[in-house]
Amino acid sequence: MNDIKKQIYTYYNQVPVKENSDNSLKGVEMSNQIKSLIESLNNAENRSEMAQIFADAVERGEIEKLDPITYRNGDYLVRDVLTYVGEKESQFLKELTKKGISIAPQFVDSVTKGDYTTIVTRIDGMDGEDLIPFSQGYNLLDDAAKRRAFQDVKKLVQANLINQAIFTRGNAAICITPKTKQIVIPSWSMLRPIENNEKQSILNDCHDIFFRK
């Protein structure tokens, strides 16, 4: 594990745990179809078997293929990525789920086979529909949704962490859930440690993004 990952895991311990959280992943439920998919992937012997499992699940209508590496079932997203990316992001999402960070997808499970890792996450309020780009759906957000997202960012910043994806051009990495109209950031591979002298600037920038001041 490199120094940056060690630093990030150290900072996770400083993120406040969500009230009523037992600091575990027990509350993340799985649909029967997702359970079956994960079991089949775990039993696969090689990459070609995994590809066939995905193809068969799509054919049966159990998952929907969104792009070459992403599948969907209700509130669940299944991403098939390179292991060096997938293992890092899986560990990050596990910790964020334990901490109750609502702007991050809930970690459900992951399966690693050689060079590829399948990550299964859950985003409440998606319900089989496309996430809404932040720039297009901003007017759908109420003040409570904006405050909820900003409070999560404050928790991260207080623990010397930030997801750099928030600042991508046009806020392209930020989405809104179609059913519940909450802010979510699907990708957390750009999570990074920050210095104390960055904190206020980051908070100001995030406040301007969420509240459009």
Domain of 109, in residue numbers: 3-122
101 has pLDDT over 80: yes
Print the SS3 string covering the chain. Answer: CCHHHHHHHHHHCCCCCCCCCCCCCCCCCCCHHHHHHHHHHHHCCCHHHHHHHHHHHHHCCCCEEEECCEEEECCEEEEEEEHHHHHHHHHHHHHHHHHCCCCCCEEEEEEEECCEEEEEEECCCCCCCCCEEHHHHHHHCCHHHHHHHHHHHHHHHHCCEEEHHHHCHHHCCCEECCCCCCEECCCCCCEEECCHHHHHHHHHHHHHHHHCC
One domain for residues 111 and 143: no
The pLDDT of residue 31 is 84
Residue 46 located in a structural domain: yes
- Structural domain contains residue 80: yes
Residues 55 and 140 placed together within one structural domain of the fold: no
Q: Which of 122, 150, 185 corresponds to the end of one domain?
A: 122
Per-residue pLDDT, 47: 86
Q: Given 122, 149, 170, which residue is the final one in a domain? A: 122
CATH number of domain containing 147: 1.10.510
pLDDT in tens, 128-187: 999 999 999 999 999 999 999 999 999 999 999 999 999 999 999 999 999 999 999 998
In this structure, the answer to whether residues 117 and 140 fall within a common structural domain is no
The CATH number that applies at residue 57 is: 3.30.200
pLDDT at 149: 97
Give the pLDDT of residue 3. Answer: 53
The CA-atom distances, in angstroms, between 183 and each of 7, 22, 88, 191 are: 27, 24, 23, 17
81 located within any domain:
yes
Q: Are residues 85 and 175 in the same domain?
A: no
Residue 17 pLDDT > 80: no
Residue 127 lies in a domain: no
Domain assignment present for residue 48? The answer is: yes
- Asked, for residue 193, whether it belongs to a domain, the answer is yes
Strand partners, 109: 120
Same domain, 186 and 83: no
Taking all residues of the chain, what is their mean pLDDT, rounded to a whole number?
88
Domain boundary among 122, 157, 182: 122
For the stretch 19-53, pLDDT in tens is: 444 444 444 667 889 999 999 999 999 889 999 99
How many domains, in total, are found in the chain?
2
Does the structure show a pLDDT above 80 at 123?
Answer: yes
Q: Are residues 118 and 138 in the same domain?
A: no
pLDDT at residue 188 tops 80: yes
What CA–CA distance (Å, rounded) separates 91 from 95? 6
pLDDT at 117: 92
Digit-coded pLDDT (tens) for 145-162 = 999 999 999 999 999 999
* In a shared domain, residues 15 and 109: yes
